[in-house]
Each structure stands twice: as structure tokens, then as C-alpha cells.
A and B are shown apart, each in its own frame.
Chain A
């Protein structure tokens, strides 16, 4: 315990000297650094901050020092995280490499794979994409068809992946591919690492209702992938993917930990867009919706705290299992509420007839619809709660 306190003081000192003031400000998506061959730093300070953290190994605090990680114990990593949070230090490097692929390579990779990929992730040389979903395989992911045929010295990959987040900006993609079509669907899947610069890999952006087109469809047309790019055993990719799910959940929790800039809260919007009388919102219906939402959000926040406390006390509960469903549905509620509060000022799409914040609100409303679909839809979450928590019989 004393050692941990000492460590905390050292960390605090180090952050004080090394974290540039600009990197302690609330941030928007444009302030994030994702690395990769096509990655650019949003600012000179962001570069300095990233380099200093990288040299400490603190972009990946718990990874082994052998590969350039920080080598911290989970307790120390927690201290670092809370010290960073205390001064609102930004996350210096974002990416699926850190959150998902790295941990999988550390767990399942060969020594060569670790040498090749871990360094590259830590140094932000590669940005990774996730290639799971396909046009015909969404919720029922295990039915995926993109195939990798064994050609002796390489795999030949043919097929397509969809919803590849930032596919056009990534360098490598980790894919679930079918390596055996003749067995139970989960048992014929392998986990393959593919260089997106390889011949035959192309991406095409998908425009969403929010106006973003960050997501791509990725096509594989006779792509030759070296045998050594198989992660884990042949036909055991489904277990690797399942292990990764744990990291994916952690990621969801962490993304929210940076302090976001100017995201409009409904109770703030109410002051600007609604009429008050004697300190009360006059529209009783909207006031009721607002209080319902504020109560819900306080309950959600408290449940986040509770899961955290339970984890540190070794207590198990069903709370973590409901958070994806509850949290994403709440986000949708929030966006709908903002639109209702802002009336026709909440549905402006572009141009100078609206403030940038008003346009953001409308766009975020459209984006909020994604949350209850991607990463396991609300219906799938409810299935999981019914199966895993309540242990209800299956058909």
C-alpha cells in the first residue's frame, strides 16, 4: 500500500512536468490521435504528449516492458488512470490495437507475432481495423462467409467485411474468416491478421444517416495472406474473438473517460430553449420528460460506480451485463429529448441558419441510433441477460 502511495506521488509529479497544459483541456473527436501510417497529430502538443507517454510505456501501462509497455501492475495502472483523470489529461493514443488486438496478440500470439505487432502498436505505426461483421452476418456473427483457403504456403482470402470503422484510414485489419465450411459454424472460423496494403484489399465508404462516412465495406479479392498471420490455432478463431469481447467491453467504458467538450446536456438546453415561469419549465410534459431522463442518468452513473466498487471488492453482480443495453438506450432517449426541447432549432442539418451546436445536436441524434445496433443490438443484449443472468430456457 505504501509503495502504491509512493508510486502515486511519482506519477503525479511526472504528469505535472510532462503533460502539456493544452492536453488537459476537454476534447472533441478531432483532438484524438489514432496513429497509423496515415495518422496525423492534431497539434504539436499532442505529439509531444504522445511521445513522452510512449517512452514511459504508459500508452499501454500494463503491457510487458519487454515489448515497450509500461509493465505496471493492475493496481499501479489504476493509480495512473486516476491521476490522469484528476488533471483531465487526454488519452495520448487511441486505437483498436491498444484496446483489442494487442491484448489478443499478447495472449495468443507467437513470439514473432508479438515482436512484429506489439511494438508497432505502441509506437503508433499501425492503426488496426476490426473485420468481423459481414453483409450476411451481423447479430449472427458465427454465420460469416468470408473464406481463407489453405494454399500450402499462404491463405487465399475472398469475401467481404462490412462496417469496418475507419477502414480507409487503417493499416491492418484483424478478421474472422471461414477456414472450414463443413463443421458446426463456430468451429470452422479462424482469426487472421491482414495487411490492408496487400493486393486485392479495397475499401469503400458507407454514408450513414448522420452524414458521417467513417465506416467502410472492405473487399478481399484473392488476397494472399502469409501463414504466420494466423492468430491462435486454425479453426479456433471463435475462442479468440470471445476472449476479445472482454477487452471490447473495457474499451466501451474507457472511451467515455476523457472529458468531452460541449456536449449539450438536456437540462442546459432547457434553459436556453424553453420558457420558465417562477423557476419552473412551463411545458409540463417536457419538464416531466426531462426529470425522467435526469433521474435515469443519475441511476446509470451510480450503477457505473457500483460495478467499479464491486469489482475492486471482488463482488459479482448482474450489473455489468445490463450496462450496454441501459446505457445505449439512455443515449437515444437523451437525443430524442434534446430534439423535443429545441423544437425546430434541433433539426437543422447544415448551413448558417443554425448554430454549430444545434447542427451537432441533430447529427448526434442520428448517430445515437447506431448505439443500440452496433456492438450487439439491444435485442441481443436482452437475449444475453435472459440466458446468462436469468438462465431462462432456450428454444
Chain B
């Protein structure tokens, strides 16, 4: 377990910081938003990100990956959280790639992972069916018919759902609506017959979609993992996603916080810098304390993915819950401490506020993870 970065990871962090702040700043996100960009991210930027190897940070060398592990991925995601960069990094290179890595056959890994790494293929996980994260509660059905599965149902809040090439669909092949047994993960082209995709415009100007499946035919070989046993792949995939998004949220919180501290040192009222008011100082100092606690939690969770996967469920829920709470506190305070200018669209602080709220909902809100942590602790 490592709670400090090594040389390699620090250098990756420097590269990421440098590239993202120059090429993919919040101004780019604003532009994508204002121009109603149909894809919702800049393919050129994504291309460059993959050329730097960011989509293969967690992949084993055997599949053309860098094998830097989750701590390595964490620094890239954290930097992308600072710049709020829209890209398939999370949905495809973390969640999608993990599903293939953990559930795919050797053949599927050989075929898919290098393509994910190069950015030529993007994936999205079609999981949620209601407005709250309930990963076991799946009513989309996958029924065997001769050598195919037939998919029926509908999904919401599919991140990158409208732009991904392939979808990983969580479907019920067996069992009752909220059993963890009886789930199967199916890999389908997003353009398959019977799929209708409706892009949803989210507060954070990033991508998501509602997707309906009507008698979609999926060859039975196109599943990840075993039939009915999708949960054993899905749960660790979700946990990796939770830790990864927590890293992004750390970047989001840090950037919003640092910008606020700069403002406290700059803005004057009553003839003094507002940062000299103790009411604001104490709130800022409290946030610094929370950031420090979250930093340790995040580092531990990231290293747990690689070093102690048996502890991952507990650490992933700890990280997601704590980072949810942090990012909510910090983005709210950031707006408040900027005063009137804080609620203008011109100031970028609002982008952090909005991204935070969306990220908080991804793969479980605070209540979901507190409940899960308590259950894992046996109460």
C-alpha cells in the first residue's frame, strides 16, 4: 500500500497537469456547451490523450498497456477533475476497460483492450434504470433464443451513452428484480437494430443518455463473464469506477478550493482583504482539514485496487462517500465565498458546482455508500 506518489506517478501528474491546463481547460468545456457539440467532447483532445497513453494506464503490458496501476490513473483523473475535461476517459478507459479486463475472455481482451487503449473504440456502461443508483435492481431482460440473447428494457444516466461505440448492458437473465444472481453483462454495438438512444443534457454539460432496447439481438458469445454471474464482474467494476470518480472529484474540489483561497487574498471589503475575516478563515481551514482526510482515503482506495482487492468494497464506499461530502461542501463554499460573482456564468466556479453534483450521483450517492459501508461493517 502506498500513501505517497512515486517518481513515475509524479511525472505522469506533471505531464497531465501541463497538457490539460493548456489544451483542455474549462474554456473548452464552455465552448462544447455553448456550441451544443453533438459528441460532447473534443475528439482531437481525446486522440492526444490516448497517444500519451492515458487510456492504457491501468492495462497490463500484455495488452499494450502501461501498467501504472490505479495510483497512476488517479493522478490523471485528478488533473482532469481540475480542468473538468470532458472525455471518454472514465466511461471507456476505466469502467469499460475494467469490465473487459475482469470479465472478458482471453479472446475478448486481445481484441478489445488494445482498441480501447488507442481510443479507436469507446465503451459505455448501461446500468441504471431509475433515478437512484440501484445496481442490483435490474429489469432489463436478456432472454436466450436459439444462440442469441434478446434484450428488452430501458436504461437511464448512461455516461457517454450517446457517443460510445459499444455498450455494456447489465441485463437480467434470471431471478427476481433485485437479486444479485441472474445478471448478465452483454456487449452490443450502440448502432444495433432495436436500440434507441436519447441524449440527456446534464447540469455539468457532460454526456449521458437514456437508452431503450427493443428486441435487440445479441450473439451469445458477446457477453462479459458468465451467464447469470454478471454481478461478480459488475461489483468490482463499479468499485473501480467509484474510486476513479473519487479521484476526479478530488481534483474538482482542490481546484475550486484553491481558486477560492486566491480570491480571499485578493478581494477587498471594509478596506481589508476578505481573507482576513476569521469567519471565512475558519471555514477555509476546516475545508483544508477535510481535504487532507480525503487525500489519505483516496490514496488508500487507489492502491487497494491493485494491492488488496479484497478490501476494495469497503474502501471504495469510504472514498465515494467522503469525496461526495467533500466536493459538496467545497463547491458550495466556493460559490458563497465569491459573493455575487460566484453565481454568474462568467465565473468558472459554477462549472465546478455543477460537475460536483453530477459526479456525486455517479455509481452511488452519499447515502448509498454509507448504507453499504455500514452493511460491510456488519450493522
Seen from chain A, the residues whose Cβ lies within 8 Å of a Cβ on chain B are 267, 270-271, 276, 279-281, 287-288, 290-292, 294-296, 298-300, 302-303, 305-306, 309-310, 313, 315, 317-319, 322, 325-326, 379, 381-386, 389-395
Contacts and interface: CB of A to CB of B under 8 A. Distances in A.
Nearest to B275: A392
Contact of B276 (A280, A296, A385, A392): A392
A98 to B, nearest CB: 29
Contacts of A382: 281-282, 285-286
B111 to A, nearest CB: 39
A221 to B, nearest CB: 39
Contacts, number: 130
Central interface residue in B285, B294, B379, by most chain A CB within 10 Å: B285
A20 to B, nearest CB: 34
Contacts of A384: 285
Contacts of B374: 280-281, 287, 290-291, 294
Contacts of B295: 303, 306, 317, 319
A393 B285 contact: no
Chain B, interface residues (CB within 8 Å), range? 35 or more
Nearest to A311: B4
A393 B265 contact: yes
A385 B288 contact: yes
Central interface residue in B288, B293, B295, B375, by most chain A CB within 10 Å: B293
Given A295-B322, A322-B288, A395 B275 contact: no
B377 A394 contact: no
B281 A386 contact: yes
A302 B4 CA distance: 12
A295 B318 contact: yes
Contacts of A299: 293-294, 296-297, 318, 322
A392 B261 contact: yes
A76 B378 CA distance: 41
A326 B299 CA distance: 19
A322 B292 contact: yes
Interface of B: 2-4, 261, 264-265, 272-273, 275-276, 278, 280-282, 284-286, 288-289, 292-297, 299-300, 318, 321-322, 370-371, 373-375, 377-379
Contacts of B289: 322, 325-326, 385
Given A279-B379, A280-B379, A318-B292, A292 B370 contact: yes
Contacts of A310: 3-4
A272 B367 CA distance: 25
Contact of A390 (B288, B294, B375): B288
A385 B281 CA distance: 9
B297 A302 contact: yes
Nearest to B10: A315
Contact of A315 (B4, B275, B322): B4
A322 B373 CA distance: 25
A306 B379 contact: no
Given A315-B4, A390-B284, A306 B377 contact: no
- Those 8 A-B pairs whose CB atoms lie nearest each other, nearest first: A385-B285, A386-B281, A302-B296, A322-B289, A306-B3, A382-B285, A392-B275, A299-B293
A90 B208 CA distance: 58
Contacts of B275: 390, 392-393
Contacts of A394: 276
A302 B298 CA distance: 10
Given A295-B373, A385-B285, A386-B281, A317 B378 contact: no
